[in-house]
């Protein structure tokens, strides 16, 4: 096997933009944008102080289940040494998956284990919480052969510790996302480098079976961004909550592809309405569904926007309803242009998005801004599913990539990739707003998954 291609040569990171989307300012990055961010975040800091946690704030019950936060296992994915994360500023020191126990009283994390594995940049939990799955986000060797992999782990139900079960080739490069079907029967892996989705049966003992299918997201050919959208770039494959339909997110083609899935054969076929497009040049990245399964929310990496789509349950068709920015009105932040020395860099005064999560109650939605370094908060209209801005919270770090909410809906963790830290937030059960509980050191944290309740 040849030399690994590091993220410095990763085609995902090129961000040259021929034009700006309507939500961005016409200004260009300059020193005053840093001043603007300082002023804006100073205001956020004052707000956070005003919302400081009351002594019993963490003891409140969930707005969805009536349960208090519990001591769960928490798993954090990383980009590992000797690589540099996309948009990173230094070589990673991370070793693999970091396993923690969550303190239900304040959300703080106590490390249990570090399991060595190559760049487990995205994690997926089995519905049973007995098994964890990860991608191994690797590129190509010297001959151009893809090196991406997926791996399976058994979870000790008492301690939360992981044991490697097996690993399979992803049959693609830069495998950036994985998800488990709601039935627990199959794993889907998105290969960003060659725009494919790989499907694997999950065996009774949690191991990955042999590849059962692979499809290519053909996209629209070349997109308006000739560097980031020169071809299909699969960024995610996810099922709707009911599991009737699968959705492939193609950053390169500005397209969401819709699939029907045969759980017995483990194969995908195009749905009766096989795709929906987002606005040209948006660069869709991730997608979440409202718990009622009637709306979907797509975060667009390149345009810093979210598209709201109605979901037609019978055919899985998506109908556009709303576009909303992840940035404040009259923002000074603009789309980044490519830096040949570090194409994924987000220079001062520029912004891209990364993660989107919806509260278990369906009342609030959260998105990460890389550059502004905030979490954008939204209130969800419970009748129409549309979004309304509910403020922005400083992540107290640089390049917030991964983010997740615990199952009770009381705690939110965000991984600040470039500052090697995890910010811990309490979620107000009445407003959905965030209050900072603390910031912990952890190397290159880029995804968070929640495991079983621990004693």
> What's residue 15's pLDDT?
34
Indicate whether 227 pLDDT > 60: yes
pLDDT of residue 47: 43
Cα 241 from Cα 195, distance rounded (Å) = 24
pLDDT of residue 44: 53
Within a domain: 1: no
Range with the poorest average pLDDT among 294-303, 343-352, 364-373:
343-352
User: For 113-117, 230-234, 268-272, 353-357, which range has the lowest pLDDT when averaged over its residues?
Assistant: 230-234
% of residues, the chain, pLDDT over 90: 78
d(CA 297, CA 240): 11
**Looking at residues 381-398, what average pLDDT do you find?**
98
Q: How confident is the model at residue 338 (pLDDT cuts 50, 70, 90)?
A: low
pLDDT band at 219 (very low <50, low <70, confident <90, very high): low
Confidence band of 455 (pLDDT split at 50, 70, 90): confident
CA distance 369 to 326: 7
* Strands 295-300 and 284-289, bridge-based pairing: antiparallel
The gap from C-alpha 147 to its chain's centroid, in whole angstroms, comes to 22
What is the pLDDT at residue 344? 72
List beta partners, residue 8. none
CA 413, distance to chain mean position in Å, is 12
CATH number at residue 287: 2.130.10.10
> Do the domain assignments include residue 148?
yes
Give per-residue pLDDT as tens, 369-380: 999 999 999 999
Q: What per-residue confidence (pLDDT) applies to 349?
A: 95
Q: What is the C-alpha separation between 358 and 289, in angstroms, rounded? A: 8
**CB 231 within 8 Å of CB 223:** no
More confident residue, 124 or 28: 124
**Token pair for residue 181?**
């079907």
| Average per-residue pLDDT for the chain | 87
- Confidence band of 27 (pLDDT split at 50, 70, 90): very low
Phi, psi of 18 (to 5 degrees): -75, -20
The closest of 285, 304, 288 to 296, measured between CA atoms, is 288
- The tens digit of pLDDT for each residue in 421-437 reads 999 999 999 999 999 99
Where in the sequence is the domain holding 69, given as residue range(s)? 7-453
Average pLDDT (215-219) is 83
pLDDT tens by residue, 81-114: 999 999 999 999 999 999 999 999 999 999 999 9
Count the domains in the chain: 1
Q: Is residue 47 part of a domain?
A: yes
Question: Does residue 25 surpass a pLDDT of 50?
Answer: no
Closest CA to 261 of 249, 276, 247: 247
The residue with greater pLDDT, 118 or 340, is 118
Q: What is the pLDDT of residue 343?
A: 62
Q: Is residue 2 part of a domain?
A: no
341 Cβ contact partners less than 8 Å away, ≥ 6 residues apart: none
Residue 228's pLDDT band, with cuts at 50, 70 and 90, is confident
What band does 342 get if pLDDT is binned at 50, 70 and 90? confident
Angle, CA of 71, 77 and 118, to the nearest 5°: 135
Does 225 have pLDDT greater than 90?
no
CA neighbor of 451 nearest in space, from 174, 74, 199, 175: 74
Residue 17 has pLDDT above 70, yes or no: no
Once rounded to an integer, what is the mean pLDDT over residues 390-395? Answer: 98
Under the banding of pLDDT at 50, 70 and 90, the label for residue 58 is low
Is residue 417's pLDDT more than 80? yes
């Amino acid at each position: 096997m040849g030399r690994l291609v590091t993220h410095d040569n990763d085609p995902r990171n090129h961000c040259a933009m021929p034009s700006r989307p309507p939500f961005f300012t016409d200004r260009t990055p300059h020193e005053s944008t840093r001043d603007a961010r300082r002023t804006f975040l100073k205001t956020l800091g004052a707000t956070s102080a005003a919302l400081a946690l009351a002594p019993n704030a963490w003891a409140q019950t969930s707005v969805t289940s009536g349960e208090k936060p519990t001591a769960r296992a928490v798993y954090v994915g990383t980009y590992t040494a000797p690589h540099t994360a996309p948009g990173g500023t230094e070589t990673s020191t991370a070793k693999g998956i970091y396993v923690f126990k969550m303190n239900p009283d304040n959300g703080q994390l106590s490390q249990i284990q570090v399991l060595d594995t190559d760049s487990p940049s995205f994690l997926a939990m089995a519905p049973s919480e007995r098994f964890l799955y990860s991608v191994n986000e690797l590129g190509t060797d010297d001959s151009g052969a893809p090196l991406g992999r997926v791996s399976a782990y058994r979870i000790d139900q008492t301690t939360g510790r992981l044991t490697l079960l097996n690993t399979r080739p992803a049959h693609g490069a830069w495998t950036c996302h994985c998800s488990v079907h709601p039935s627990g029967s199959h794993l889907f892996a998105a290969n960003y480098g060659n725009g494919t989705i790989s499907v694997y049966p999950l065996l009774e003992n949690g191991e990955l079976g042999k590849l059962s299918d692979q499809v290519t997201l053909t996209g629209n050919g070349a997109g308006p961004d000739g560097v980031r959208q020169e071809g299909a770039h699969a960024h995610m494959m996810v099922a709707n909550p009911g599991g009737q339909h699968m959705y492939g997110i193609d950053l390169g083609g500005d397209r969401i592809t819709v699939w029907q899935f045969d759980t017995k054969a483990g194969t995908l076929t195009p749905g009766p309405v096989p795709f929906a497009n987002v606005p040209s040049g948006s660069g869709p990245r991730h997608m979440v569904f409202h718990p009622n399964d009637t709306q979907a929310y797509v975060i667009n990496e390149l345009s810093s926007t979210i598209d709201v789509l109605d979901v037609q349950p019978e055919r899985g068709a998506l109908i556009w309803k709303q576009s909303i920015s992840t940035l404040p009105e009259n923002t000074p932040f603009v789309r980044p242009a490519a830096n040949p020395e570090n194409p994924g860099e987000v220079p001062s005064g520029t912004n891209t998005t990364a993660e989107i999560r919806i509260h278990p109650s369906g009342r609030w939605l959260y998105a990460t801004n890389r550059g502004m370094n905030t979490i954008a908060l939204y209130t969800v209209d419970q009748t129409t599913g549309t979004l309304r801005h509910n403020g922005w919270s400083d992540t107290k770090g640089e390049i917030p990539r991964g983010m997740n909410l615990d199952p009770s809906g009381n705690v939110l963790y965000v991984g600040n990739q470039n500052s090697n830290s995890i910010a811990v937030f309490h979620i107000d059960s009445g407003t959905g707003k965030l209050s900072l509980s603390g910031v912990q050191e952890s190397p290159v944290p880029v995804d968070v998954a929640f495991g079983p309740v621990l004693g």
